[in-house]
Structure 1
Amino acid sequence: MTVRVLLLAAGQSSRMSGADKLLMDVDGQPCLRTLALRAYAAGLPVTVTVPAPDHPRARVLVDLDVDVLAVPEANLGMGHSIGAGVASLPHGSSAVMVVPADMPELCSEDFTALAEAHERNPMAILRARDANGRHGHPVVFPSDLLGDLQRLSGDRGAAGIVQAHQGRCIFIDLPGQRATTDLDTPSDWADWRKSKKT
């Protein structure tokens, strides 16, 4: 079974005061590139949505063995970006692992843990959870829900699909705050960097 990672990187980074959160440094490389490398290191195929084929985000991926998908209408909301990403997946994908690309604490072993859980539970929705029990990402959707994901639009993302199939959810606990650390503002990034030094 093939679980494909869908890294969502087509958003506007509108809360960063002109900076691009996905190009911020994480382990010596742009955040987006680091996340793509970690997913790929888990042995999983990776698709990355970006705003345009010539966008700086696309350029930091150019030498990686990942599929880059331009979603020029991503400003319509995360749901639209997810829908376009899922529609682009190769035939035969058994599941999609949806991951916002602004989550710098996710590690290769986290991607592996979700993929292995899918092998054990191929019809479940798998939701990562942090050490405090808060729901986060990645989220794995099985093959029979890919059509629903393709039809998404707007800003709600896939929350409605998860809610409609709550009985199929299995939670996968990840260490620390990996599943819930997403950085949207300059202060988020500054606080996170400070926490890494302590």
Structure 2
Amino acid sequence: MRIAGVILAGGEGRRMGGADKALIRLGGAPLLARVAARFGPQVDALALSANGPPRAYAAAGMPVLADTRPGGQGPLAGVLAGLDWAADAGADLLATVAVDTPFLPQDLVARLAEARARADAAVAFAESGGRRHPTAALWRVDLRSPLRTALAAGTRRMEAFVGARGAVPVTFAIGAVDPFFNVNTPDDLASAERYLAENAR
């Protein structure tokens, strides 16, 4: 099966002072570049879901997908844009991750794909430390029609949508760092910098 991948970067970054998190630098590289380096090799095609000017992300060298629905409808709108793009690209499945998760597992997509196929589920998503991470997920491309309907009906929460689809959770162990650690605040960024520095020794 052909798997496309989308990095979700449509958030407003309020807790980072309104900064575009895709472009925030961690260890000298933009978060987008760090996530793409870990996620890109796991998929057959890669795009970015973002609502900033495409030229801002030109260095990443990937298609930039704007939300297909207006009004800031959250990450589900980015998933829908990704599903539409994946369908046009001839993919069967879409893997998604958030741009603020720089320590993603390098076997994320393989494990999600295995669990989804085993359960014949429409969606598989990651969890760690008892917390669910619905943005780190693998979606059947044929979900784009029900997702479009759900967004039109006012659904915004990813967990509500995936929960209604019988999504399968896949547990990832936490090592020196949670692989789904989010860089949401300046303190989170400082913690991520410390982790990188300690593990570069």
Category of TM-score, reference length = shorter chain: 0.7 to 0.9
Q: Which amino acid aligns with 1:127?
A: F
Amino acid at match of 1:78: P
Tell me, in whole angstroms, the C-alpha distance in 2 between the residues paired with 1:76 and 1:171.
24
**C-alpha distance in 1 between matches for 2:155 and 2:99:** 16
Q: Deviations over 1:119-162 (max 9, x none)?
A: 444434212111x2221141222244232223426682432222
**Paired residue secondary structure (2:184):** coil
Q: Distance in 2 between matches of 1:2 and 1:184?
A: 32
Q: Could you tell me how far 1:18 is from its partner in structure 2?
A: 4.5
Q: Which protein has the bigger helix share?
A: 2
Amino acid at match of 1:114: L
Matched, 1:104 2:102: yes
Quickly say closer, same or farther: Cα 1:43–1:127, change in 2 above 3 A: closer
The answer to whether the 8 Å contact 1:86/1:149 transfers is no
Q: 2:132 aligns with which of 118, 135, 149?
A: 135
Which residue in the other structure is 2:59 paired with? 60
* 1:24-54: CA deviation from partner (whole Å, max 9, x where unpaired): 2345421112212322212432221122443
Q: Distance in 1 between the 2:92 and 2:157 partners?
A: 20
List gaps (5 residues or longer) in structure 2.
none
Change in 2 beyond 3 A, CA 1:77/1:43: closer
Once residues 191 and 114 of structure 2 are traced to their aligned partners in structure 1, the CA distance between those partners, rounded to angstroms, is: 33
- After TM superposition, the score normalised by the length of structure 1 is 0.78
Distance, in Å, in 2 between the alignment partners of 1:194 and 1:74 is 37
Say if 1:61 and 1:150 are closer, same or farther in 2 by CA, change over 3 A. Answer: farther
Question: How far does residue 187 in structure 1 lie from its aligned partner after superposition?
Answer: 1.8
User: CA deviation digits over 1:168-189, x for unaligned, max 9?
Assistant: 332212231213x112111221
Q: What pairs with 1:1-198 in structure 2 (closer than 5 Å)?
A: 1-26=1-26, 28-56=28-56, 58-62=57-61, 66-71=62-67, 73=70, 75-91=72-88, 92-130=90-128, 132-136=129-133, 137-151=135-149, 152=151, 156-165=156-165, 168-176=166-174, 177-179=178-180, 181-197=181-197
Q: Distance in 2 between matches of 1:143 and 1:20?
A: 28
Structure 1 gaps, min length 5: none
Structure 2 length-normalised TM: 0.77
SS in 1 for 2:92: strand
Q: Secondary structure at the match of 1:148?
A: helix
The one-letter amino acid paired with 2:99 is: A
Aligned residues between the structures: 190
The answer to whether the Cα contact below 8 Å between 1:47 and 1:67 also exists between their aligned partners in 2 is yes
**Local SS of the residue matching 2:146:** helix
Give the residue type in structure 1 aligned to 2:15. Answer: R
RMSD between superposed Cα atoms in Å? 2.7
Kindly provide the amino acid, as one letter, of the partner of residue 12 in structure 2: Q
Percent identical: 26
